[in-house]
Amino acid sequence: MGQFEPPEGKLREEYGFFIDGKPDTPVDRERFETVDPSTEQPLVEISAGTEADVDRAVSSARQALDEWRATSATERGQVLFQIADAIRDHSEMLAVIEALESGKPYTQAVFSIKSCIDYFEYFAGLADKVQGDTIPMGWEYVDFTIREPMGVTAHITPWNFPTSIIGRSIAPALAFGNTVVHKPAEETSISALEVARLAVDAGLPPGVFNVVPGRGTEAGAALAGHRDIDSLTFTGSVETGREVARLAVDNVAAPHLELGGKSPHVIFPDADFDAAVPSILRGIFSANSGQSCTAGSRLLVHQDIHDELVDRVVAAASELTLGPPMDDPDMGPLVSAAQYERVTDYIEIGREEVGEPIIGGAPDRTGYYVEPTIFDGVSNDSRIAREEIFGPVLTVIEFSDESEALEIANDTDYGLAAGIFTSDVGRALRFARNIQAGSVFVNEYYAFGTQTPHGGFKQSGIGREKGLEAIRTYTQTKNVGINIEV
Ligand code: ADP
């Protein structure tokens, strides 16, 4: 182990479910193994949830709903503040878990835990600020709206930021009076089990937050298609998003989808290169090895600065360190063998489409490591520029002027995020106006926060999370019209 505490005592050998406020593990359930991506060795065993387990979790959430939604919003907020404190008190344990499960460097895992705490505190504060409108319907009426919880909310999450996403997706649901059933990703289920346990210890009533780990096709599909859920929040791939949305809509449960991306990061000659280069690196390499739906995976560079900028990006990327998460390098291994295969397959596709990458590839070592990889001279029509790779692979595309940059940037099925570097305010604002993306970053990739709404245009999703927009996602409006002349 490197400079951080070894994980002894932080992981149990076996994990089950968390239903009705307590660990719940029928002994006869099939178990699946998770793997430490830096050693390729087994990490822990987890029970695979079945339809029956999802059913028990949903009915626990249904039973807990009346009491939780009737709890005053201020009190709900206080419970969320207590959960935030509990997570903070256990952040080292949670960071070790996230680092080991996902392979991300320890410092980045700490950031994911901090982000989860931030969400809990943000939505704790927002809980009692959700209010309706009065609507002028005429002299003889009083009309007002109430924002009520959706009910039982289902959450299916990915493995890339497992703890942060609990804050983003589950904290607002809880704050506004909903109850929760969560199916975490197979690779990273422990974070969710630990946070749910901490939440109950911190005062969340039993049944309000249930976790059923398991396979996507079994526990995930059972949850998405459960007749008794009222909304489904899904973060993951477009293909699975389509499938789960169909299942949810069959029961008229509202689907909220945050899906993939192939986000453009556009650099103009008047950019501040000293700021742009580290931002490009964070956008696709150093932040979670590019395993992020908002990753800036298409670098659009003006032809006049192409050589200088690409040289600087290559030089900086060559300095990034790769290693096991607890050594806290710049980049850890990819999360799983499947992800490693997917990314290295795309590197092969890139070799066929545009030739050798100017830097990168997969080193010959144990662990699912892929170096920062850059393909230069890429056409926006190639597969490596159109399909989401979800790893540290950057495609460099040249443009000659602003309108061509915009055309290429928008020429994608996705629309999650877009970045621009320029010192021309008008150009930045024209880009922000014309780009088809849910988040626009000017002069800093990932310039967003807990408070800012996030979601996708086009194939990148339906609905918004984070910020005040979460109120729309996790409440439904009731209108009350009263004739006051009767
Ligand atoms: P990835 O391929 O990167 O794992 P997915 O979109 O398949 O991305 O997975 C995101 C989440 O969706 C995970 O929790 C996974 O278990 C779940 N999942 C995968 N397939 C299904 C499915 N058919 N129905 C419901 N959930 C699924």
pLDDT tens digits, one per residue of 311-366: 999 999 999 999 999 999 999 999 999 999 999 999 999 999 999 999 999 999 99
The domain boundary, picked from 198, 229, 259, lies at 259
The partner residues of 209 in beta bridges, in order of sequence, read 180
Q: Number of folded domains in the chain?
A: 2
Expressed in angstroms and rounded, the spacing between residue 73 Cα and the centre of ligand 1 is 33
Domain annotation covers residue 486: no
The partner residues of 156 in beta bridges, in order of sequence, read 183, 234
Expressed in angstroms and rounded, the spacing between residue 240 Cα and the centre of ligand 1 is 6
Where do we find the tokens 């909903």?
Answer: 178
Tell me, yes or no, whether 426 and 302 share the same domain: yes
Tell me, yes or no, whether 285 and 242 share the same domain: no
pLDDT at 169 over 80: yes
Residues with CB under 6 A from ligand 1: 156-158, 183, 185-186, 216-217, 220-221, 224, 236-237, 240, 243-244
Q: Count CB atoms within 10 A of the CB of residue 449.
A: 12
Q: What amino acid is encoded at 432 in this protein?
A: A
* pLDDT band, very low/low/confident/very high, at 14 (cuts 50, 70, 90): confident
Tell me, yes or no, whether 285 and 223 share the same domain: no
Residue 185 CA, closest ligand 1 atom number: 14
Give the integer Cα–Cα distance in Å for 104 and 289. 8
* pLDDT band, very low/low/confident/very high, at 370 (cuts 50, 70, 90): very high
Expressed in angstroms and rounded, the spacing between residue 391 Cα and the centre of ligand 1 is 17
Q: What is the pLDDT of residues 239-282, one digit of tens each?
A: 999 999 999 999 999 999 999 999 999 999 999 999 999 999 99
Tell me, yes or no, whether 70 and 175 share the same domain: yes
Q: What is the DSSP string of 323-389?
A: --GGG--SB---S-HHHHHHHHHHHHHHHHHH-S-SEEE--SSSSS--EEEEE-S--TTSHHHHS--
* pLDDT band, very low/low/confident/very high, at 8 (cuts 50, 70, 90): low
Residue 223 CA, closest ligand 1 atom number: 25
Nearest residue (by CA) to ligand 1, atom 14, is 185
Give the integer Cα–Cα distance in Å for 174 and 54. 19
Q: Rounded to the nearest 5°, which phi and psi values hold at 391? A: -170, -175
258 is catalytic: yes
Q: What amino acid is encoded at 391 in this protein?
A: G
Q: What is the pLDDT of residues 89-120, one digit of tens each?
A: 999 999 999 999 999 999 999 999 999 999 99
User: Which whole number is the average pLDDT over 182-198?
Assistant: 97
Domain annotation covers residue 93: yes
Domain annotation covers residue 474: no
The domain of 217 spans: 14-259
Task: Tell which one of 50, 101, 156 to mutate to probe ligand 1, the residue whose CB is within 8 A of the most ligand atoms.
Answer: 156
Tell me, yes or no, whether 276 and 182 share the same domain: no
Domain annotation covers residue 466: no
CATH code at 211?
Answer: 3.40.605.10
- Residue 73 tokens read as 């919003």
Residue 236 CA, closest ligand 1 atom number: 6
Across the chain, what does the average pLDDT equal? 96
Say what the pLDDT of residue 1 is. 36
Domain annotation covers residue 212: yes
Give the integer Cα–Cα distance in Å for 204 and 283. 36
Tell me, yes or no, whether 220 and 294 share the same domain: no
CATH code at 359?
Answer: 3.40.309.10
Expressed in angstroms and rounded, the spacing between residue 439 Cα and the centre of ligand 1 is 24
Tell me, yes or no, whether 270 and 244 share the same domain: no
From 121, 293, 388, 398, active-site residue: 293
End-to-end CA distance of the chain: 76
Tell me, yes or no, whether 179 and 164 share the same domain: yes
Domain annotation covers residue 54: yes
Tell me, yes or no, whether 229 and 278 share the same domain: no
Residue 338 CA, closest ligand 1 atom number: 2
Helix (H) or strand (E) holding 102, with range, is helix 91-102
Nearest residue (by CA) to ligand 1, atom 20, is 216
pTM, two decimals, is: 0.97
- Of 25-29, 34-38, 398-402, 469-473, which gets the smallest average pLDDT? 25-29
pLDDT at 84 over 90: yes
Ranges assigned E (strand) in 212-297: 231-235, 254-258, 264-267
Q: What is the DSSP string of 434-464?
A: H---SEEEESSTT---TTS-B--SGGGEES-
Tell me, yes or no, whether 195 and 275 share the same domain: no
- Residue 460 tokens read as 């990148």
Say what the pLDDT of residue 6 is. 45
Expressed in angstroms and rounded, the spacing between residue 209 Cα and the centre of ligand 1 is 20
Domain annotation covers residue 357: yes
From 121, 258, 388, 398, active-site residue: 258
- Let me know the angle formed at the C-alpha of 39 by 35 and 40, rounded to the nearest 5 degrees: 45
Say what the pLDDT of residue 454 is. 97
Tell me, yes or no, whether 278 and 394 share the same domain: yes
Expressed in angstroms and rounded, the spacing between residue 216 Cα and the centre of ligand 1 is 5
Domain annotation covers residue 9: no
Tell me, yes or no, whether 96 and 37 share the same domain: yes
Q: What is the pLDDT of residues 448-462, one digit of tens each?
A: 999 999 999 999 999
